[in-house]
Amino acid sequence: MSNATHEAAAAALANSPTHHALPSYLQADNLGPWGIYLQQVDRVIPYLGHLARWAETLKRPKRALVVDVPIQLDNGTVAHFEGYRVQHNTSRGPGKGGVRFHQDVTLSEVMALSAWMSIKNAAVNVPYGGAKGGIRVDPKTLSMGELERMTRRYTSEIGIIIGPTKDIPAPDVNTNEQIMAWMMDTYSMNEGATATGVVTGKPVDLGGSLGRREATGRGVFTVGAEAANHIGLDISKARVAVQGFGNVGGIAGKLFAEAGARIVAVQDHGGTIYREAGIDVPALMTYVSRNGSVKGFVGAEVVSDDSFWDVECDILIPAALEGQITAANAGRIKARMVIEGANGPTTPAADDILHDRNILVLPDVIANAGGVTVSYFEWVQDFSSFFWSEDEINARLVRIMKEAFAGVWQISQDYKVSLRTATFIIACKRILHARELRGLYP
Ligand code: NAD
């Protein structure tokens, strides 16, 4: 985030009516993702009617656990990693959200990601609250054995607050099916019974769901296509630029390409590639799965990372990390529509610039909700031990995403607000209505 954006965020936060009442640990890092989330909540309070009296609930995570994760490295020494699991809200059901392994993970970031999960789960109306976890580590520096030991120790440490009816982790950045299998096994060993429903995003042979791996990208494509219809953009002729070519960006890119769109630019941690005639997406996917990044792919020209923001395109899909579209580059974006595959990729200042430039932003809290929707299907299938076909799963996913998007679009038209604010209005009302119905204990 730029300094100017930091200052704007600080000023907005200081003017928030409830700011003075927040405990210090919620303010300590208030200029990062958590501060952005608080601003987003403040924006919707005027639309919450009588439920606004409960809004403070949204500004405080229900529970935040910080754990030490010590493991023996292959060279015999002991390393300590910092792990987190935050349950932001459980008014509508158990906590639900991914686990991220990244060297920059902080408690503030995990708090924000858990809060966005509360919003997302309520936006698509799956019966979950919001949670998120992470370990501050660069997993690329670990051997397979070290990664497994770290995952298992972390799972055991957070085992006191997770469980199939309490909080259900899933994959996020740098975590995958194998890591979910280790988490499920560790939790099950500690419980003395196989508990497949403790995590989602598992391998299909271990209670995972068909279609889960592609679900987030499929959701990105589904809401993108719906929004394109509303603004008269023909997907089959669209030029698409994708940042992040992992689970979300790769699948979204593939589905847009299958619908006839040209994927003109792809950026990942290894570099940026461009091809005006359209990149061969299946070939790039094969290349990335073998080589770890787009770097060295011969089917496109290499361009500078910074030039990615100037690419002539109709649709831009940030699908890497948060804070990528900032006040510094939002003015350069040529797209008509930004679909947030990643969580929190657009800073509030950039959001305002895109809005002023009439660029439609499909916010993360609806655009990337396909993953948690199929995670919900996986959890239901695990409980019933009855598994559905991939066609059934994809059809239910598309139906839920289209219905949720239609509701968000309608609210944005009715109240003349952005799609992000509209999604927050729907989600916050659902969460706070549940809060009100349950009442305050004791
Ligand atoms: P992933 O690990 O599969 O892929 C991440 C991609 O981002 C990789 O291509 C990586 O090279 C790229 N990347 C990393 N640092 C970068 C940088 N500095 N610049 C450009 N590219 C960079 O992760 P994923 O599961 O695809 O998740 C991507 C985003 O989508 C995250 O924000 C995640 O929270 C969000 N998300 C994921 C899911 C899911 O089901 N996987 C669901 C909802 C949201």
Maximal CA-CA distance, the chain: 64
Question: Which pLDDT score, from 0 to 100, does residue 23 have?
Answer: 54
Whether the domain at 3-192 and the domain at 213-358 fall into the same CATH topology: yes
Question: Which pLDDT score, from 0 to 100, does residue 389 have?
Answer: 98
Closest residue by CA, ligand 1 atom 29? 342
Nearest CA among 214, 209, 123, 132 for reference residue 167: 132
324 touches ligand 1 (CB under 6 Å): no
Enumerate the active-site residues: 132
The model's pLDDT over 9-44, given as tens digits with 9 standing for 90+, comes to 444 444 444 444 555 445 443 458 898 899 899 999
Distance 244 CA to ligand 1 centre (A): 6
Whole-number Å distance between alpha carbons of 386 and 151: 28
Tokens of 429: 């009302």
Distance 193 CA to ligand 1 centre (A): 33
Distances (CA, A) of 150 to 192, 309, 365, 389: 21, 37, 30, 34
Closest residue by CA, ligand 1 atom 32? 342
Whole-number Å distance between alpha carbons of 350 and 348: 5
Query: CATH homologous superfamily for 213-358?
Result: NAD(P)-binding Rossmann-like Domain (3.40.50.720)
Closest residue by CA, ligand 1 atom 34? 343
373 touches ligand 1 (CB under 6 Å): no
Question: Which pLDDT score, from 0 to 100, does residue 21 have?
Answer: 56
Nearest CA among 383, 364, 384 for reference residue 317: 364
- Compute the average pLDDT of residues 406-430: 97
Residue to substitute in 172, 200, 293 for testing ligand 1 pocket (most ligand atoms within 8 angstroms of CB): 172
Closest residue by CA, ligand 1 atom 37? 172
The model's pLDDT over 72-95, given as tens digits with 9 standing for 90+, comes to 999 999 999 999 999 999 999 999
Lowest mean pLDDT of 18-22, 69-73, 231-235, 270-274, name the range.
18-22
Domain spans of the chain? Answer: 3-192, 213-358
Domain 3-192, CATH among 3.40.50.1820, 3.40.50.10860, 2.130.10.10, 1.10.3720.10: 3.40.50.10860
String of DSSP letters for 191-247: HTS--GGG-SS--GGGT--TTHHHHHHHHHHHHHHHHHHHHT--GGG-EEEEE--SH
Question: Which pLDDT score, from 0 to 100, does residue 211 have?
Answer: 96
Position in ligand 1 atom list of the atom nearest CA 212 = 40
> Residue holding tokens 């982790």?
169
114 touches ligand 1 (CB under 6 Å): no
Whole-number Å distance between alpha carbons of 167 and 93: 9
312 bridge partner residues: none
Q: Residue 324 gets which letter from DSSP?
A: -
Q: In 79-202, where does DSSP find H-type helix?
A: 107-123, 144-158, 177-191
Is pLDDT of 129 > 60? yes
The model's pLDDT over 191-227, given as tens digits with 9 standing for 90+, comes to 999 999 999 999 999 999 999 999 999 999 999 999 9
418 touches ligand 1 (CB under 6 Å): no
* pTM across the whole model: 0.91
Please state the φ and ψ torsions of residue 17, each to the nearest 5 degrees: -60, -25
